[in-house]
Structure 1
Amino acid sequence: MNREKKLKNPIASFILLTNIIFLPLFFLVGATRMLGFPAWVFDVMHCISAWSSTFAFAALFKKIYPGQRFIQFVKDKFKNKLKFSVILTVSMIQAFIFLIIMFLVSNNSEADSIFTISSWGMLIYFFLKNLLSGPLGEEIGWRGFALMELQKKNSPLKTSIIIGFWWGMWHLPIWFTTGYVGIDLIKYILFFMISILSTTIIMTAFYNLNQNLIIPITIHQFFNFFIGIIKGNLIDLIMYSAIFYFAAAVLIIIINPKKVLYGKEDTNSINEKHSMIP
């Protein structure tokens, strides 16, 4: 019998350590920009800083799950077979939102192009850079651990709101590098938090339907990637995202497919699966 002492408040410890690790890395990212380092150095540091949640989870892992191996834990998050219907549904939802936002921005834009990227090479580079930072760097900790751990004692919907809030607050230092002040900064923060809370609810619903970390990674990737390639006012882009992702989240809450958001039976079965890890 394993008698290693477990961490009493793993979620709180994870969130705290994630922020402690992120702040110095974030300042290093800013330093590379201010000191005039090449763009690729900035991109590398930016990607590394996004992995702060994974670094925090790895550092705490032995105290959270005594006797288990971190690498095996991560592998298990990808072992379930992907359901084509789930991947197709999340892709269609986000593609639809992207097309609506693109249409709205194009009607309000006087620029020759509504896209920030003009070549396939740069598009592929941006896609991979985005994937290596946010989606891959953040989802192991926030969704692979925190979301599933918190669902052991709370409904998926309540868990989504809690995790979504703290995930959003983790971005706080970034808010003050946007250049916005006053009412513009308030609007940016408000729309950002609505977007991230709504996206978290969508992630939870579809992750619980498939139990493969590829699902939240895909949702995260499409969210960042689609916003990044549209040329337009950032506040407008975040506002449109907040509106349409919120609408999608509300629709999913109402439909509640297979009771994955607040159904007692399904919540308990999810908790049992994650409490019986060998």
Structure 2
Amino acid sequence: MGPERGARTTVGTVLLIVALASLVGCSSGTDAATAPATTDIGATSDPSDTTTPRGPRPTRYQPFPSEIDGAAKLAAARAVEALPDVRQVTYTQYFGYLPPDASILVEADFVDGGGTTYDVRLSQSRQGWRIDSVLPATAIPPLQNPGALIRRVLTSDRITLPWAGRVDVAAGLVSDAVLRSMLAVAERHRIDVSVLVSAHPVQVFGTDRRSNHPDGLAYDVGSIDGRLVVDPAAAGLVRQVMRIAAGTGARQVGGPDDLDGGGSQYFSDPTHSDHVHVGFDR
């Protein structure tokens, strides 16, 4: 993918947001009253499957109690919930958290089926968090003849992919190293992948360094065996997955804990307090 995955859209231009969002009807992830989680769609082999039923809006998104900044996530979720085509917000995660600025991943299901991932940019003032822009993932056509490795990931019942992530895999944008790593981790734990390529910022937030996500060389895990990474009760599972992922050849593994105390392979910071990042060399 190139450095721009879609046109940056301010919240005020709702019509443009809706137009862009309609392009990614096959892009993923459920919502609970007090703890967001992702929907298990990992067993669906068709990346264009849109089986979300039409119906009344479910309970609105609420951040998990242990979030480092639930107000920022709530503001981002509300901005996406306000879009006419959105049925529900299913998951949020930090793309970057450097107050007074933040970038937050928001996954959402559409009213008529399908869904997508948004990059919501915010800035903080005395009045709270302000929405600066909402950028949806861009639609990408799938490969006509995906290889066996791609098919294994798309049909795995132990890997849940977001709508946009399914598109990334089906389009051949994700490296074999990432695909094999996800499958290896999934042999031990069921994982909900939160982002691969689409909608992720091109640069590491707050820096001029290129992220390895846009090049298909990284994946993030937001939930393990049904427990959100941000849940302190999942700390043991999170450490297990971080170590397994490192054993698959990942150059960097980030999460709520720095497992090598400042070494070169593991790291932790506020941005990675709610997910496990697994990145590979170019």
TM-score normalised by structure 1 residue count: 0.27
Higher relative contact order at CA 8 Å, sep ≥6: structure 1 or structure 2?
A: 1
- Which of 1 and 2 has greater Rg? 1
Structure holding more strand per residue: 2
More helix by percentage: 1
